[in-house]
A and B are shown apart, each in its own frame.
Chain A
Amino acid sequence: QQQVKQSPQSLIVQKGGISIINCAYENTAFDYFPWYQQFPGKGPALLIAIRPDVSEKKEGRFTISFNKSAKQFSLHIMDSQPGDSATYFCAASKGAGRRALTFGSGTRLQVQP
């Protein structure tokens, strides 16, 4: 059972554009929703995370939008840069920090110069 569904599988954006990646979850017990960035040959690195008590969180060019009723959350990358080209994973966990993360399938982002 895939508990976190991520789309799109791949995304091509022009430099300066907005990249949007969406995730949906099934388990209402999830209470921590991070996004990870992964470059080839490297481990995932935390970008930004949100708890379900807020609907939006912004850190620099990265914003998470969270819709608890729809069980969906999304990552927006503003002013996308070629250096943002990587694979992005959404994830979720319950008992944040005490239980394992369940990951989405990943989105390969390519930002064209």
Chain B
Amino acid sequence: EAEVAQSPRYKITEKSQAVAFWCDPISGHATLYWYRQILGQGPELLVQFQDESVVDDSQLPKDRFSAERLKGVDSTLKIQPAELGDSAMYLCASSSDRVIGYTFGSGTRLTVV
């Protein structure tokens, strides 16, 4: 069964440091999403890509967060500088127009100390 790959699984970083997360969506899925999930809450969208273009980044804190999907396949989400409030699970998901559904990766658990 096809999966969305994310790495690393866990990341501990000091505040003010830079951190990056990587996602490889299901092959052929043109749409890729980054979500942030704070413990005990539902996931909230940070950014949506259609191929290599950003479709929606209205909830992305652009002063410290950036995301790219240069070749329209895998994607990187970066935080610089990290703040204590950024501690959360960062989830990547992908979807396709051909088959309705969204598949999530296992996420990256970020702890900022």
Chain A interface: which of B13-21, B63-71, B73-81, B96-104? Answer: B96-104
- Is the pair A100, B91 in contact by a Cβ cutoff of 8 Å? no
In the assembled complex, B87 has its CB within 8 A of some CB on chain A = no
- Is the pair B33, A106 in contact by a Cβ cutoff of 8 Å? no
- Is the pair A43, B107 in contact by a Cβ cutoff of 8 Å? yes
- Is the pair A103, B101 in contact by a Cβ cutoff of 8 Å? no
Give the shortest distance, in Å, between B2 (CB) and chain A (any CB).
Answer: 13
In the assembled complex, A46 has its CB within 8 A of some CB on chain B = yes
CA distance A109 to B66 in the complex (A): 35
Chain A residues, CB < 8 A from B6: 43
- Is the pair B106, A42 in contact by a Cβ cutoff of 8 Å? yes
- Is the pair A45, B48 in contact by a Cβ cutoff of 8 Å? no
In the assembled complex, A72 has its CB within 8 A of some CB on chain B = no
Q: How many A-B residue pairs have CB under 8 A?
A: 64
- Is the pair B107, A103 in contact by a Cβ cutoff of 8 Å? no
- Is the pair A103, B109 in contact by a Cβ cutoff of 8 Å? no
- Is the pair A106, B41 in contact by a Cβ cutoff of 8 Å? yes
Chain A residues, CB < 8 A from B45: 100-102
In the assembled complex, A105 has its CB within 8 A of some CB on chain B = yes
CA distance A97 to B91 in the complex (A): 17
In the assembled complex, A49 has its CB within 8 A of some CB on chain B = yes
Chain A residues, CB < 8 A from B103: 46
- Is the pair B56, A100 in contact by a Cβ cutoff of 8 Å? yes
Give the shortest distance, in Å, between A50 (CB) and chain B (any CB).
Answer: 11
Give the shortest distance, in Å, between B29 (CB) and chain A (any CB).
Answer: 10
Chain B residues, CB < 8 A from A93: 102
Cβ-defined partner of B96 (8 Å) among A49, A91, A97: A97
- Is the pair A44, B96 in contact by a Cβ cutoff of 8 Å? no
> Which A-chain residue is minimally distant from B95 (CB atoms)?
A97
In the assembled complex, B43 has its CB within 8 A of some CB on chain A = yes
Give the shortest distance, in Å, between A11 (CB) and chain B (any CB).
Answer: 15
Q: A46-B101, A46-B103, A97-B99 are in contact. List 9 more A-B contacts (CB 8 A).
A: A36-B104, A42-B107, A43-B91, A43-B106, A101-B33, A101-B102, A103-B44, A104-B42, A106-B41
